[in-house]
Structure 1
Amino acid sequence: MKILVTGAAGFIGSHTAEFFASQEHEVFGIDNFSEYYDPALKQLNLEDIKKAGVTFIEADLNDDLASKISTTFDYVFHFAAQPGISATTSLDEYVQNNIFATQNLLDFIKQNSPNLKLFVNIATSSIYGKEATLPETALPKPISYYGTTKLAAEQLVLGEQRTGKLKACSLRLYSVYGPRERPEKLYTKLIKSIYDQTAFPLFEGSEKHSRSFTYVGDIVKGMATVIGKEDVVNGEIINIGSDVEYTTQQGIELIEKIIGLKAKIEVTPPRPGDQLRTTALIKKARKLLDYEPETSFEAGLEKQVDWYRKKFL
């Protein structure tokens, strides 16, 4: 099968592209190497996926994609987005990279891959809002530019499905962690600060926030199960994550235990738009995809620390 992975040099996208290549699919990855975080770090991911046999295309999804891609595809896994909750990222950037880019990709795929089997939109638990403890049928109440524009992107994809223009589903991911996690995310930042013996900025009150922290390998395996189940998942929104919650404080303590050193915590003002609690309700994923997360929180963090040591120490 020919598979296109957008955002393929990013955290989850790189793992997904690498996994499909290992399954002997013909995988194409696209990424624009935005300045949101150091492109040199994405270059490390790119080296890994190229070694796995992924064909890479450097391009922005807002470009004229037909001038850059001549291949037709059987599947699209759409990760590329303006990520995260950041006070320094403007609404225009979220709109351009999450909404307009998604529609441009959809238009390209409809025109150039008429026999597409499935378009898989990668969404987020931030769509639900402050308390992401809900089933897929719940009314979305996003509280950030990120969550709002990712909801809009999801509806653009599902709108194409509802009008019969393509088969599509949307997978809402929960608090993914593991090797290659972005440098501004919790555990990569924490691990770096401990090894560098620098202060770790912790948003006030966030140590009590609870999350369905989900290991990236479990996320990838869950997403991959949609292949061959196009009729089952067509038009569906499906939560993918762990249904076991941990607080941020518990995560910090586990990292300290694994490394054998204490973090130097520096409390900073709370971050607007942050979620207080996420719990992945995955009954639907279990039913439709036979999905079951397998990696324990501590085992996943051990793998992330090991990755950091090998890449950066």
Structure 2
Amino acid sequence: MDKSAYPYHGGRLRWHSSLAKLTFWSFVFIGVIFIFFYRSPSSSSSSSAAAATSSSSRGGPAWEKKVRTSARIRSRNGFSVLVTGAAGFVGTHVSSALKRRGDGVLGLDNFNDYYDPTLKRARQALLERAGVFIVEGDINDAALLKKLFEVVPFTHVMHLAAQAGVRYAMQNPGSYVHSNIAGFVSLLEVYMAYFFFTKDILNGKSIPIFEGENHGTVARDFTYIDDIVKGCLGALDTAQKSTGSGGKKKGPAQLRVFNLGNTSPIPVTNLVTILERLLKVKAKRNVMKLPRNGDVQFTHANISLAHRELGYKPTTNLQTGLKKFVRWYLNYYSAAGKKADAR
């Protein structure tokens, strides 16, 4: 598992009125987890070799067998969970954590190219070796969703599919409406500054270092992936029933929203300095004004509700997380380069 890839997510503190700003704020939220409490044991059969599913083979007996096998509950009090955005960074780690503890897990992802598709495919292969099948499809495909719920009586949905990137929202608003509004976004993969910084530092390219008004420091509430996963699983485990036997509604859904973060905003310049030390390469810094396009100068997660209801408490600092990330980055791209040279 790419344990240290993209290890941090930034917290956000305030609501914004515009669509782009609202999207930016939603980056650090765990969305609503829909709970289906009519649960029956899913039928099982021996697992066959996992492979990516194309739309042409979707819905056949072999495809349904893979879906049922992946979603099969293997622990006494486990859940059967549909994870959207399963090939994304957070989705991969959440899916893996659920599977390890005995829950049935089925992934859904459209494998778009906003982030490196080869990395997503590598995650897909790792998850499928662990017994998690990822259906390739869009969360706005009503027919596909209907089919999945016919094949598997899911107890929960962990909705992590969304279009990421604050600046991208300003240039491609239609993509955000499609993925984050029509798709009912719950958790976004934030813009991964450390990933692109590492790549450009190693390639000798200049990296943008933004500053606020009057040369003010730009700081982010970087949070390690393991802490985010704990928060996601905590929200799943503490959700209360809103339906009874046979799916009969007995009360309103909980509709809880949690802010996850590290509560310790760190200047982006500090992050670059740590990367320089770990990579043993001096970065070419290009200092520029922070654009007024939805970005904010300072972010700070308020985790009081998550701490109170989930026992959420981040434990990994930036130095430790970046050390793991750099180790993964160098190993992964070194191996990828060797494979490309061998072709």
Q: Report the TM-score, using the length of structure 1 for normalisation.
A: 0.70
- Residue 82 of structure 1 contacts residue 97 of structure 1 at CA under 8 Å; is this kept in 2? yes
Between 187-196 and 44-53, the greater mean CA deviation after superposition:
44-53
Give the equivalent residue in structure 1 for 2:317: 296
RMSD: 2.3
Aligned residues of 2:139 and 2:145 also touching (Cα < 8 A)? no
The CA distance in 1 between the partners of 2:125 and 2:294, in whole Å, is 34
**Which residue matches 1:284?**
305
CA distance in 2, matches of 1:258, 1:71: 46
| CA displacement at 1:203 relative to structure 2 | 3.7
Match of 1:84 in 2: 165
1:34 CA drift (Å): 1.2
Contact 2:209 2:269 in 1 (8 A): no
CA pair 230-44 structure 1, distance change in 2 beyond 3 A: same
In the TM superposition, 1:127-276 aligns within 5 A as 185-205=192-212, 208-231=217-240, 234-267=254-287, 270-271=290-291, 272-276=293-297
In structure 2, C-alpha distance between the alignment counterparts of 1:281 and 1:5, rounded to whole Å:
25
Distance 2:328 2:204 in 1: 19
CA contact (8 A) 1:207 1:249 kept: no
Secondary structure in structure 2 of the residue aligned to 1:20: helix
**Gaps (5+ residues) in structure 1?**
103-120, 125-172, 176-183
Q: Quote the residue 1:30 is aligned against.
A: 108
- Count of residues in Structure 1 that have an aligned counterpart in Structure 2: 238
Look up the SS of the partner of 1:200 in the other structure.
Answer: strand
Residue aligned with 1:29, SS: strand
Alignment partners' CA distance in 2, 1:207 and 1:300: 26
Which deviates further from its counterpart, 60-69 or 289-298? 60-69
Indicate if the aligned counterparts of 1:2 and 1:73 stay in contact, CA closer than 8 A.
Answer: yes
CA distance in 2, matches of 1:275, 1:22: 38
Q: Deviations over 1:170-225 (max 9, x none)?
A: xxx9x6xxxxxxxx620011111122222223345498211111001111012111
Conserved 8 A contact 1:207-1:248? no
- Partner SS state of residue 183, structure 2: helix
1:8 CA displacement: 0.6
Say yes or no: does 1:97 pair with 2:97.
Answer: no
Residue 186 of structure 2: which of 122, 144, 159 is its match? Answer: 122
Superposition pairs of residues 40-119 of structure 1, within 5 angstroms? 40-63=118-141, 64-66=143-145, 68-69=147-148, 70-87=151-168, 89-102=171-184
CA distance in 2, matches of 1:252, 1:21: 35
Q: CA deviation at 1:38?
A: 3.0
8 A contact 2:220–2:298 mirrored in 1: yes
Q: CA–CA distance in 1 between the matches of 2:187 and 2:91?
A: 13
Which digits, 9 at most, give the CA deviation of each residue in 1:93-130, with x for residues without a partner? 1111111122xxxxxxxxxxxxxxxxxx7346xxxxxx
Misfit runs of 4+, over 6 Å: none
Structure with greater contact order relative to length (CA < 8 Å, sep ≥ 6): 2
- Largest Rg, 1 or 2: 2
Q: Which structure shows the higher strand fraction?
A: 1
TM-score between both structures, scaled by the size of structure 2: 0.64
Contact conserved, 2:219 with 2:298, CA < 8 A, in 1?
A: yes
Identity %: 34
Aligned partners of 2:155, 2:205: CA distance in 1, in Å? 47
The amino acid that maps onto 2:106 is F
Residues 196 and 101 of structure 1: CA distance in aligned 2, closer, same or farther (over 3 Å):
same
> Helix, strand or coil: the match of 2:331?
helix
- After superposition, the Cα gap between the structure-2 partners of 1:93 and 1:54, relative to the gap in structure 1 and judged at 3 Å, is same
Within 1, Cα distance between the matches of 2:85 and 2:237?
A: 23
User: Could you say if the C-alpha distance between residues 57 and 89 of structure 1 is closer, same or farther in structure 2, counting changes exceeding 3 Å?
Assistant: farther
Residues 214 and 241, structure 1, Cα contact 8 Å, conserved in 2: yes
For residues 51-100 of structure 1, the C-alpha deviation after alignment (integer angstroms, 9 at most, x for no partner) is 22211100011112246522221111111111111247422211111111
CA shift for structure 1 position 305: 0.6
Counterpart of 1:210 in structure 2: which amino acid? Answer: A
Structure-2 change in CA distance of 1:66 and 1:288 (3 Å) = closer
Q: Deviations over 1:211-240 (max 9, x none)?
A: 111001111012111233112992222111
Q: SS of the counterpart of 2:240?
A: helix
SS in 2 for 1:243: coil
| Match for residue 328 of structure 2 among 302, 307, 311 | 307
